[in-house]
Structure 1
Amino acid sequence: MKRYRIPSSRSFWQKTVNYRTALLYLLPSLLLFGVFMFYPMFYSLYLSFFFTDAQGDPTTFVGFENYAYLWESASFRRSVLVTIIFVLLTVPASVILALFLALLANEKLRGIGWYRTIFASTLGMSVAASAVIWLFMFHPTTGVLNAALQALQLPAVSWLQDSTMALISISITTIWMNTGFSFLILLGGLQNIDEHLYESARIDGAGYFYQLRRITVPMLSPTLFFIITITFINAFQSFGQVDILTGGGPAEATNLIIYSIYREAFIYYQFGPASAMAIVLFAAVLLLTLLQFKFGERKVHYQ
């Protein structure tokens, strides 16, 4: 009869040494994620089923009543519409502008390093500093934008006071803020494309736009997919520029979902509905991101 040897605990301990070593290296990150991401997320899910007091402590279990309240709230529905418009205004424009600047900066021209520094300069600025700069530029009387319009004999614009222009102004600020990061990533992707592909195309008589369509965009598609995904997620999380420039106004014209969560929780002290909004926003972004991976990644060309 053949006898089977049962592995000893010592052999199992030796086999898992690599896993335990990896876990040891990951432990600091896991602790940080647990404290600052996972715990707040699960606690928000917990609070979304309760009424809370002014300190945020749960008092009465209400089940899905907070979620039902959101769909009955005209303010929340408006914030959803405003957020969708904001995402449509900022994401395509940010990616196209960053790609255009990256294509320019990738050319072998004299002094191109200075332009690369200028294009990437927004990356080193905080949201608060960027918003304050644009706050002065949007000023109705002393702002440089209205001064330029008046110099062209055009009427001044109420950038932040008009309900239509306010969202456009916030979008312009956000596009400018996102350009630096997207530009650097796309420029790095362009510089990783094999130059021999362009040389072969030029020998065959291919023009610049044909090379752009057949070589640059396909080879850059993984980087573009990453930038589109990150810009898309960041658009849903835009808060600082809204708080500093408009405070969600005028007439809730710039009241994005993320700002509506802040206002509901820290101005009205309604932590239950605010937590429900946060969970709805998380679920929406997760679903849209998964759809983007499912359908958008098919067009990505990996080398």
Structure 2
Amino acid sequence: MAKTSINKKKSKFPVGIWYLLPALIVFSVFLFYPMFKTLYLSFFITDTRGDAIFFNGIENYTDLFHSKEFLLSFKNSFLFVLYTVIPTILISLFLAVLANEKLRGSQFFKVAFSSTLGVSSAAAAVIWLFLFNPSIGLVNNVMDIFGMSGVGWVTDKSFALISISITTIWMHLGFNFIILLGGLQNISEDLYESSKIDGANYFQRFRKITVPMLSPTLFFVIIIGVINSFQSFGQIDIMTKGGPAGSTNLIVYSIYKDAFVNHAVGYASAQAMILFVIILIATLIQFKVGERKVHYQ
């Protein structure tokens, strides 16, 4: 019987491959080939067209770790992730809990809170660039009302990364809100009713029921948030172009500059592979540490 079952599985394998073939072709063209090509070019000096002309081994990598600009972009990237991921999730969770309450007008707030999902990074950057304008921007005008002096949000290196982070938080709120609200609506009302009978107050129910039951969703949005933050580009290009003094020059923007402005594709490819390893390690750590605290139903 066991041998018959194995033979049946073997006979179905070619059929399965045929069904998977379109997806495998798409993945090969748009994922696997670019990744291996990037790895290949990272060991070469390239010409202005990006063609490999001289093999220099790991010299691109060693040069990167001796470059003050790259080390600064490395530091900026981690600070940016820290500034954006946790605040985005906390604000999104607060809005999702608020919208999940059975209150009059909650449908309007659901639409309003999720609306940033439909805004492109370019549009968001232009909106916030206007808000952060030092002379006519709303942010500085509000600060003036309260007697505080205005700030050069995108021109002062002390505030530029913070302003980019605020823009990114606003951009990501809609996606996280929808995912977290979906997770909240999947929690059984029976659990809350039982806890009310047992005398649990709102905060006890939130801590003992909502957070544990929502933990798989929180785990998902944390991983996606970290990956998206490491890959942020559009708002940086439009608002600061990596400045002032390299204070918003993240690894992704550094890759763009070296590949398409300086035409050092081999050098940029080495940075891309380092970014790939960073994201991979960060994701593995999250799975290793975070999944222990996830409570699956």
TM-score range, shorter chain: over 0.9
The more displaced of 91-100 and 20-29 is 20-29
Gaps of 5+ in 1: 1-5
SS at match of 1:244: helix
SS of aligned partner of 1:205: coil
Match of 2:56 in 1: 62
Structure-1 separation of matches of 2:269 and 2:79:
23
Match of 1:82 among 66, 76, 96: 76
- Residue 215 (structure 1) shift: 0.3
**2:89 is matched with which residue?**
95
Q: Which residue in 2 is equivalent to 1:3?
A: none
Equivalent of residue 233 in structure 2, options 227, 239, 258? 239
Does the alignment pair 1:45 with 2:45? no
1:51 is paired with a residue of what secondary structure?
Answer: strand
Residue 18 (structure 1) shift:
4.2
Separation (CA, whole Å) in 2 of partners of 1:180 and 1:244: 21
SS in 2 for 1:60: strand
SS in 1 for 2:158: helix
SS of the residue 1:117 aligns to: helix
What is the CA distance between 1:100 and its match in structure 2?
A: 0.5
Long gaps (5+) in structure 2: none
Once residues 9 and 70 of structure 2 are traced to their aligned partners in structure 1, the CA distance between those partners, rounded to angstroms, is 54
Cα offset, 1:30, TM superposition: 2.1
| 1:299 Cα offset (Å) | 0.5
Name the SS of the counterpart of 2:65 in structure 1. helix
Cα distance in 2, alignment partners of residues 238 and 200 from structure 1 = 44
Q: Structure 2: how far apart are the matches of 1:214 and 1:103?
A: 15
Equivalent position to 1:282, from 276, 279, 282: 276
- SS class of match (1:149): helix
In the alignment, residue 95 of structure 2 is paired with which amino acid?
A: L
| Distance (Å, rounded) in 2 between the aligned partners of 1:240 and 1:124 | 15
Partner deviation per Cα, 1:60-81 (whole Å, 9 max, x = no partner): 0000010010011011011111
Write the mapping of 1:157-172 to structure 2, written as runs, cut at 5 A.
157-172=151-166
CA–CA distance in 2 between the matches of 1:38 and 1:163? Answer: 38
- 1:82-161 matched pairs, under 5 angstroms: 82-161=76-155
Identical amino acids, percent of aligned pairs: 57
| Cα deviation digits, residues 4-40 of structure 1 (max 9, x gap) | xx99xxx96x654644444334333222221111111
Residue type of the partner of 2:43? Answer: F
The letter for the 2-side match of 1:106 is: N
Which has the higher Rg, Structure 1 or Structure 2? 1
- Which stretch of the first structure deviates more once superposed, 152-161 or 43-52? 152-161
Residue type of the alignment partner of 1:42: F
SS at match of 1:72: coil
> When the two structures are superposed, what TM-score results if normalisation uses the length of structure 1?
0.94
RMSD across aligned C-alpha pairs, in angstroms?
1.5
1:161-198 CA-partner distances (Å, limit 9, x unpaired) = 00011000000000001110000000000000010000
Matched residue SS, 1:59: strand
Counterpart residue number, 1:224: 218
User: For 1:22 and 1:197, how far apart are their aligned partners in 2?
Assistant: 42
Q: Which residue, 173, 193, 200 being the options, matches 1:199?
A: 193
Which residue type is aligned with residue 67 of structure 2?
Answer: S
In the superposition, relative to structure 1, how do residues 212 and 158 fare at CA in structure 2: closer, same or farther (>3 Å)?
same
Distance 1:128 1:30 in 2: 32
1:213 and 2:224 correspond: no
Give the letter aligned to residue 129 of structure 1: A
Partner of 1:39, secondary structure, is helix
SS at match of 2:54: strand
Partners of 2:85 and 2:255 in 1: how far apart? 22
Query: After superposition, what is the alpha-carbon deviation per residue over 1:210-245, rounded to whole angstroms, capped at 9, x for unaligned?
Result: 011100000000000000000011110000010000
- Code of the residue aligned with 1:222 in structure 2: it is P
Q: Could you give the per-residue CA deviations for residues 38-58 of structure 1, whole angstroms, max 9, x where no partner exists?
A: 111110000000000000000
Shift of 1:136: 1.0
Q: Find out whether 1:179 has 2:173 as its counterpart.
A: yes
Residue 138 of structure 1 and its aligned partner are, at CA, apart by: 1.1
Partner of 1:34: 28
Instruction: Give the TM-score taking structure 2 as reference length.
Output: 0.95
> Matched residue of 1:155: which SS?
coil
Displacement, 1:102? 0.4
- Structure 1 letter corresponding to 2:169: I
